[in-house]
């Protein structure tokens, strides 16, 4: 039986694949813990590709998993999930090797954090990125406030989140959220990873550290997102939003 995360090492290049396609690779604690383990295992790689199976890269936190819980159980689950997502993002950024995200299909909610934490993002023309927070009634996580405003500008980040406006592939590149559009993102990511792996490894690692900057400051902003998410998740509007969202999804 295959796990939630698949890992392959080909010489100096490692590939990590999200493998929960029946649920659009939505994020649950088990998947994130397995992803953290995979990142530890590829620490010696010179370049890493992060990809996903199925129709979507990832649709963020599994709303059904939230809706099945209430009270303290819901708060504890939200705290664990968003905390693990923050840990995963920081692990990607702290990994010595550059991480190239090969993205296709839908990217919603907290799964944007996997793109924001990656060093390079290649996206398929089919990609749509959407927050859903103000629609479902959640507070943002996954770097939507901790990292996105610094990447695309505060005004753009605000409008997208306040109005739940999707970002298409061309816009993502124009705004600096992605590197370029590729019709075969897995192949393009693998080729780029091999090119990076052929460079001087010490220089590559130093470049990544300098580009990422102060990770402690990023960790603090991600922790603020976690606290806000946990506070908001048990409000009546979040419960109403989850019920409405799941009702639409069942049609």
Whether residue 191 lies inside any domain: the answer is yes
Whether residue 207 lies inside any domain: the answer is no
Domain count, the chain: 1
| pLDDT, tens digit (0-9, with 9 covering 90-100), for 47-80 | 999 999 999 999 999 999 999 999 999 999 999 9
Beta bridge mates, 50: 16, 101
> Band of the pLDDT at 249, cuts 50, 70, 90?
confident
| pLDDT, tens digit (0-9, with 9 covering 90-100), for 205-242 | 999 999 999 999 999 999 999 999 999 999 999 999 99
Q: What is the mean pLDDT of the chain?
A: 96
Whether residue 70 lies inside any domain: the answer is yes
| pLDDT, tens digit (0-9, with 9 covering 90-100), for 118-127 | 999 999 999 9
Q: Answer whether 0.85 is exceeded by the pTM.
A: yes
Whether residue 189 lies inside any domain: the answer is yes
> Band of the pLDDT at 2, cuts 50, 70, 90?
confident
pLDDT of 251 higher than 90:
no
Whether residue 206 lies inside any domain: the answer is no
CATH number at residue 117: 3.90.226.10
């Amino acid at each position: 039986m295959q796990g939630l995360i698949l890992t392959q090492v080909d010489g100096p290049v490692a590939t990590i694949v999200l493998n929960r396609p029946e649920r659009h690779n939505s994020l649950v604690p088990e998947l994130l813990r397995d992803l953290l383990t995979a990142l530890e295992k590829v620490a010696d790689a010179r370049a890493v590709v992060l990809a996903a199976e199925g129709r979507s890269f990832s649709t963020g936190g599994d709303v059904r998993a939230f809706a099945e819980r209430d009270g303290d159980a819901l708060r504890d689950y939200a705290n664990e999930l968003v905390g693990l997502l923050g840990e995963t993002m920081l692990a990607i950024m702290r990994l010595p090797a550059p991480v190239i995200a090969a993205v296709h299909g839908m990217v919603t909610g907290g799964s944007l954090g996997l793109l924001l934490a990656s060093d390079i993002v290649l996206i398929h023309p089919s990609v749509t990125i959407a927050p859903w927070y103000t629609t479902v009634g959640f507070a943002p996580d996954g770097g939507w406030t901790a990292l996105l405003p610094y990447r695309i500008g505060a005004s753009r980040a605000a409008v997208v989140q306040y109005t739940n406006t999707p970002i298409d592939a061309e816009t993502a590149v124009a705004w600096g959220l992605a590197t370029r559009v590729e019709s075969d993102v897995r192949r393009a990511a693998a080729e780029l990873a091999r090119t990076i792996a052929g460079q001087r490894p010490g220089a590559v690692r130093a470049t990544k550290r300098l580009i990422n900057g102060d990770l402690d400051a990023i960790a603090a902003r991600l922790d603020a997102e976690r606290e806000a998410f946990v506070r908001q998740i048990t409000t009546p509007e979040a419960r109403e939003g989850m019920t409405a969202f799941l009702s639409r999804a069942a049609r």
